[in-house]
Every structure is written in C-alpha cells, then in structure tokens.
Structure 1
Amino acid sequence: MSKIIFITGASKGFGKLWAEAFLKRGDKVAATARNTAALQDLVAIYGDNILPVKLDVTNRNEVLEAVNHIEKHFGNIDVLINNAGFGLFGTTEETSEAEARQQMETNFFGSLWVTQAVLPIFRKQKSGHIVQISSFLGLTTLPLLGLYNASKFAVEGLIETISTEVAHLGIKATLIEPNGYATDWAGASAAQTSAEIEDYAPVRKAFAETGENPEIWGKPEATIAPILEVVDSENPPLRLLLGKIAFQAMEQVYAQRLKDIETWKAVSIAAHG
C-alpha cells in the first residue's frame, strides 16, 4: 500500500535521493525546499505524485501553512522525514552568536516546528511515523563541529521524549544517525565556516587529514534500502546507525562510557545520600 511521505530539505543530498526512491515505488511525496526549482526534474517524471513546497523550516508560521497545504492536497500524512539541516564548521570559541543561533534555529528548532505541526494530524489518524535525521554526532562528538554536535544532541533528546509521549496514540519515532556520506553536506550544505583563530590550526589540520581517507565516507545510494525498510517496519527502531564508521565509533564510545560508569559506581551511589 502506498504511503504519503513528507520530507523536508529535499532539494539535494539524502532528501532528494530518498524522495525519488519513494516516488519510484509508487508513494506520494510532499517535498520541501527553500528553492523548489531543484525539484522540477522529479515533477517532470512523477507528476502529481510529488508536491513541491517552498519552506524555510525556521519560520514557524510558514511551517504551519505548509503542513496545512500538504494535508489538504494529499488528505493525510503517513511519514514525516525531518531532514532539513546544515553543518557549521569551526571550533566552539570561533563560533559567533549569529552562527550558533542559526545552527540551532535550523537543525533543532526547524525539526521542532515541523514535528509540532504534523503531530495533530498523526493524533487525529492515530497513526504516523516521525523519522528524524540526526547523526552519530548526536551520540558522540568531533572537534570543529561543536554547535552541530550540540544541535544533534538536542534533537536526540527531543525525539526520544516525543516517542514516549505519543506511543499510546499509535505514533512511532525513529532517529536516523548517519556517519559522513559522500553528499554535499561538507560542501554547499555546510553553509558556514567560522572565522579562524590561529591557535586551533593543529586541530583543523588533523580534522582535514581524517577527511582525506575515502574509507570514512559512505555511499549515499546505500542508504535507500535501510530507509525504506524503516518506513515500512511495523516495529521500527528508536535509533538506527547508518554506516560502518558510525557503528564502530559507537561500539567504542559506549564501551568506554559503561567502563567509566562502573569505575565510579560507588561514588555515584554514595551521592544519592
């Protein structure tokens, strides 16, 4: 049975790739972008099965209007894929107030506004699936991405909380946590790089050298089957890592966290009083 999929940030990268995959198999897709001209190639192929919607997710009123338009056009929404976002590169000290606020406005508040706008439809239907594109950097961190890391940590807490609030209504939630992929995320989609402080040059150098290893970048096309599987699952996971780097990193991170917790167990228990 075909589904009605609502994807934000669908002009390029994962968003456009997944939108086309859903359309190819016969789903209907509401695809949002700041510039819908980037979606006209899909319109030419899939016609009325795709609804391009101009949307800036940081504008809450615009989000509410867009969701209302999508519901009226398709009749309902089965799956929300919160994909809109960008990466801000720079150390935490280098990040300006404006840059920090824009990062959180897009990656965190944008997801919040869209989710809040869709939830009344899901509640009315007693069904729906929130698929939030996070990152493995919502579970651990890398230098030079402090505000991006923070935005994804915030998104993780938000969606996990929502999942406990809406489960009794038949609504599901999944956090998708990719490692780096060979999209334009580190290029055009990463709209900002903070002004540099020379003392952090060694950190930037080490970060750049890591990125030169082709093995760390996943193939975007390989994510299509996992996303389709998650969307079609009767019991989707709360979290799904995408990519071998994410999997290996989280194995190491959680092993160390559990070790630290156990080492300091007596202190932790004594602190209860």
Structure 2
Amino acid sequence: MKTKKVWFVTGASKGLGLSLVQKLLAAGYRVAATSRTVAGLEEKIGKASNEFLPLEMNITDNEDVKKVIAKTVAHFGQLDVVVNNAGYGLIGSLEELSDAEVKEQFDVNVFGSLNVIRNAAPYLRAQQSGHFFNIASIGGYTGGFPGFGIYCATKFAVAGFTEALAEEMKDFGVHATVVYPGYFRTEFLSGGSIKVPANPIDAYKSTRAGEELHLNEINGKQSGDPDKAADVMIEVSEMQAPPVHLFLGQDAHDVARQKIGIIQTDLNKHEALAAATAFAEN
C-alpha cells in the first residue's frame, strides 16, 4: 500500500488551515502544522504522533522556518505538499498606513511564504515530486476593495510568484497552485486576523464604510464553507495536472470574470492608441 503524502500547513490553528488539517488527518494523510504557538494546535487538533506534528514557527524568520521544515522531514521521512496559508489582513487607505505597518504586512504575507518556499523546495526538487499551494485571496486578482489595497497588494505578489514558481519547478515534477478564496466563514474578519491603521484619517468616509461592511455585515455571513474548500484542495493535490490558478467559491469566480471583462474592454478600447508605440519601419 502506497504511503500517504506528508503535508506541511502554515497558519493551521484556525480558519481554512485548521479545516484543511482536520480533513487531511481524517483522510489518512500525515500532517505537520505550524502556528505561532503549539498550544493552540494541540488543543484543537491533538498531540504529536506518527500522523500529526504540531510545530511553533516564526514565519518571518528564515532560519526558524528552515529548522521547522527539517524537523518535519526528520519526523516523517519526506515532504510532499506545502500549503502557505499563514497571514493576516491589514485594512486602511494607502495614505493612512505607515511604512512600518505596510512592511509588517509584506513580511508575513509575502516574505513569510517565500521563506517556506525557499526551504521546502530543495526537498521536493530532490525527490522530483511535490506540490505548493499558496493561499492568496480573490483580492489577489482584483484590488478594487477600498481600504484593502495593501492586503490586496500582498496577495497579488503571492499570485505573481506562484506563476513563476510553477514554471521554475515543472522540470522537477513539482506543481504550484495559487488559491484565490472568496468569502469563507472563518475567523479572518475577526479573532486577531485583521489589523487597522494606528493613525486613521477622518476624511476617508467611503473607505471606512467599506471596511465596516466587511467587519460588521459580511463577517459571519460568508457563503463559503471552509471544510468544503479543504476537500477541493485535497482533490486538486491528487490530480496529475493540477491548475496553477484555483478560484475557490462561486463568488470568487464571479469577481474574477468581472475583472476579466474590465480588462478585455480596456484592451479593445485602447489597443490602437497603446500599441502604436513601436519604432516606425523604414
């Protein structure tokens, strides 16, 4: 009987990460799960065993990430699927967010994921198989959400480097998928997963209204079931030719198609003007 794959999931103490780990263990996979503290993982999932390894990890510390991934391989003897799920949301207009606030957002959502990729890739490349799932957001495909510009920028970055990763790793039999979830009923809009600007500017009335809509009206009423999202990701992980782009939820598909339509309209409307930039032929 073929040994079940080993998954490495960051940000696993709540939300999609927690649902995914629980689904994986129920299906017989072996899982290393990381969070800022082990206690939360043990409380919600269980103690370390032959099938489960809870790990404390500082995703912004490259050396710590390297050590944790090495522990995973030492414990299970292999590493097959890596899920970059750890992250948080930062809301606020571009003007009111400080340099430090923006850098912290990129440190976790972008550079943290790159730390994981950098240190997991040698194992997958050596065994000539594996799969990276990098969790973005539908906000990583369209940025038209006032007050979420920096968060969207980090998720656009995740989408961009995943596309490159897919090309870089394909010669080694390793896949990469960027996941764009729509609205799922998790703790993302509450429970410490959202940070607000230290110095808000009163003039941004419409931006505040958009933020309040997400925090007070959408939160708790999201249509997406994280357990079903986990099922989809597991199914995709077993595909021979998995997609590079995975939009999770009907709302994510609807928003993506709307963005594609806007781009197509702009391309067609301004092509003659914008394409007339080549050197004139003699």
Instruction: State TM-score, norm by structure 2.
Output: 0.92
CA distance, structure 1, for counterparts of residue 108 and residue 214 of structure 2: 27
Does 1:209 find its partner at 2:241? no
1:157 aligns with 2:157: no
For residue 226 of structure 1, the aligned residue among 220, 232, 237 is: 232
% identical equivalent positions:
33
Q: What are the ranges of 5 or more consecutive residues in structure 1 without an aligned counterpart? A: none
Paired position in structure 2 for 1:168? 171
Give the structure 2 partner of residue 61 of structure 1.
63
Choose the corresponding residue for 2:140, options 131, 138, 154.
138
Whether the 8 Å CA contact 2:185–2:222 is kept in 1: the answer is no
Higher helix share: 1
Separation in 1 of the partners of 2:210 and 2:190? 18
Alignment deviations for residues 8-50 of structure 1 (CA, whole Å, 9 cap, x no partner): 1111111111001000011000001101111114225x83311
Residue matched to 2:42:
40
Letter of the structure 1 residue corresponding to residue 86 of structure 2: A
> Deviations for 1:90-141, whole angstroms, at most 9, x for unmatched residues?
1111111111011000000000010010000011101110011011111101
Residue 199 (structure 1) aligns with: 203
Q: Is the 8 A contact 2:23 2:227 kept in 1?
A: no
Correspondence 1:13-92 to 2 at 5 A = 13-41=15-43, 42-44=45-47, 47-92=49-94
Q: Secondary structure at the match of 2:203?
A: helix
Mean CA deviation greater in 188-197 or 161-170: 188-197
Aligned residue for 1:198, secondary structure, equals coil
Aligned residues: 272
Candidates 264, 267, 271, aligned match of 2:273 = 267
* Structure 2 counterpart of 1:6, from 5, 8, 11: 8
Between the aligned partners of 2:125 and 2:38, the Cα distance in structure 1 is 29
After superposition, give the CA deviation of every residue in 1:33-74 in whole Å (9 maximum; x if it has no partner). Answer: 101111114225x83311011101100110111111111111
Give the letter aligned to residue 62 of structure 1.
Answer: D
Give the distance between the partners of 2:42 and 2:210, measured in 1 at CA. 40
Partner of 1:255: 261
Task: Tell me the SS of whatever aligns to 1:47.
Answer: coil
Give the superposition deviation at 1:230: 1.0
Check conservation: 1:87, 1:189, Cα contact below 8 A: no
Paired AA for residue 143 in structure 1: P
- The residue matched to 2:78 in structure 1 has which SS? coil
Give the TM-score taking structure 1 as reference length. 0.95
> Is 1:237 paired with 2:243?
yes
RMSD in angstroms over aligned alpha carbons? 1.6
Residues 89 and 190 in structure 1, CA contact (< 8 A), matched pair in contact too: no
Measure, in 2, the Cα distance between the counterparts of 1:138 and 1:173: 16
